[in-house]
Amino acid sequence: MMRFAFAKALVAAAALVLLAPVARAMTIEQITTPAGLHAWLVREQSAPLVVLNYAFVGGSSQDSAEKSGAANLAASLLDEGAGDLDSRAFHERLENHAIEMSFRIGRDYFHGTLRTLNEHRDEAFDLLHLALTAPRFDKEAIERVRSQVTAGLLRDTTDPGTLASHRWWQTAFPNHPYGRDTEGSLATVPNIMAADLRDYVSRVFARNGLTISVVGDVDAKTAAELIDRAFASLPAHNDLKLVPDTLPRGLGKTIVVGIDVPQPVVDFGGPGIARHDPDFMAAYVVNHILGGGTFTSRLYREVREKRGLAYGVSDGLIWFRHTAVMFGGTATRADRTGEALTIIEREIKRMAEDGPTAEELASAKAFIKASYMLNLDTSSKIAAQLTQIQLDKLGADYIKRRAALIDAVTLADAKRVAKRLYGPGLLVTVAGEPKGVTPTRASE
């Protein structure tokens, strides 16, 4: 284990070395493998490291309502044995070669990462191939991981943040996959069988729904060979369930989920703007000004700095394949929840009606441009960014064009888009015993 710890530290240190040269001048190579797979590659020879980031179309939205959580359970079990390797043998192979492999589920995508030293890259990509093409889904592993997921779901029943969030998404997207939690529920997870996990893998893991990024000390020819080593034998086409386009519902409603906690949690949100919408960049800048997570946002200033009502408050833009939302939240004392919510709603209304000032716009542009480099300060972050840019279909030159796109947002654009983004109204959910908050009646 000491050898593994040392090697893992070496991998982490090597990743940080990539920051300076890659951030200064990143060259993205677009490669096609012998099997016809497409990928983006950023070469960096200063560290003996290869990082792979990839995504398959088809996340938790592929779960049926009755088997919600199946995609998440499958992802949690992929490294719990594959081929002729049981869970212990598979993990020993990973640890003995300092290979980091992870899988996670979003609503629209299955995401995976792989990090390895160059000397072990063949082993790493072989193990990934095994996990994706021949997962065992052994009964013992399924029950062990199921119990872990169930324990988390039980904790969530008394967590105000989770309760507020779940109610928001359920209300915004009733009878739609986006309204269900990616981890499933206490009612559905016990019903998931090995056959359901195999069904998910067989329908989603296919070459046509695959997006790939590689960063590290590897040339294009070798990267292509490694990619084919992991992915070439997958089916050519996926078999996905149809997910309909949708818009958030429940605007104008305030819902209180009763739970005895010291600090109620408030979630709020409404329709967003799609990533491919021409107004997206203006919306991104405007949202940064309102509550984009910085200490200079209007919501932070009015709620935290001026009144001390909460430790933090923020909101952000979230875009999926079939909808987009503006979503935010805070937590505050029960006796001041109504006051905090009133201020949040007032500031959102003020932004919709008046938009930002010229000074706010200039400051936000400068910050957004400068802070982007924090998304490129490790090899793993770079690979993740490359994958997201591909998923969003922004083009390989997006990183170079991004600053100009931000600069092109005018004050008139910002004011117009602020009205479009914040004008439709809010859906609000509160978990706790808030004072000064009036729930919307069922008939309203």
pLDDT of residue 439: 93
pLDDT of residue 68: 98
Q: What is the count of structural domains for the chain?
A: 2
Does 357 map to a domain?
A: yes
Same domain, 218 and 266: no
Does 438 map to a domain?
A: no
Does 341 map to a domain?
A: yes
Same domain, 226 and 259: no
Same domain, 175 and 315: no
Does 236 map to a domain?
A: no
pLDDT digits (tens, 9 = 90+) for 139-150: 999 999 999 999
pLDDT of residue 441: 66
Q: For the chain, give the secondary structure using H, E and C.
A: CHHHHHHHHHHHHHHHHCHHHHHHCCCCEEEECCCCCEEEEEECCCCCEEEEEEEEECCHHHCCHHHCCHHHHHHHHCCCEECCEEHHHHHHHHHHCCCEEEEEECCCEEEEEEEEEHHHHHHHHHHHHHHHHCECCCHHHHHHHHHHHHHHHHHHCCCHHHHHHHHHHHHHCCCCHHHCCCCCCCCCHHHCCHHHHHHHHHHHCCHHHEEEEEEECCCHHHHHHHHHHHHCCCCCCCCCCCCCCCCCCCCCCEEEEECCCCCCEEEEEEECCCCCCCCHHHHHHHHHHHHCCCCCCHHHHHHHHCCCCEEEEEEEEEECCCCEEEEEEEEECHHHHHHHHHHHHHHHHHHHHHCCCHHHHHHHHHHHHHHHHHHHCCHHHHHHHHHHHHHCCCCCCHHHHHHHHHHCCCHHHHHHHHHHHHCCCCEEEEEECCCCCCCCCCCC
CATH number, domain at 6? 3.30.830.10
Same domain, 186 and 48: yes
Does 75 map to a domain?
A: yes
Final residue in a domain of this structure, among 198, 231, 264: 231
Does 55 map to a domain?
A: yes
Does 440 map to a domain?
A: no
pLDDT of residue 87: 96
Same domain, 288 and 188: no
Does 437 map to a domain?
A: no
pLDDT of residue 293: 67
pLDDT digits (tens, 9 = 90+) for 395-424: 999 999 999 999 999 999 999 999 999 999
Same domain, 62 and 6: yes
pLDDT digits (tens, 9 = 90+) for 320-355: 999 999 999 999 999 999 999 999 999 999 999 999
Same domain, 42 and 161: yes
Name residues of the chain where pLDDT drops below 50: 1-24, 442-444
pLDDT of residue 276: 97
Domain with 346 in it: 254-374+394-432
Same domain, 136 and 205: yes
Residues 6 or more apart from 12 whose CB is under 8 A from it? Answer: none
Same domain, 150 and 108: yes
Same domain, 17 and 114: yes
The most distant pair of C-alpha atoms in the chain lies apart, rounded to whole Å, by 65
pLDDT of residue 10: 40
Same domain, 227 and 93: yes
Same domain, 183 and 103: yes
pLDDT of residue 46: 79
pLDDT of residue 400: 94
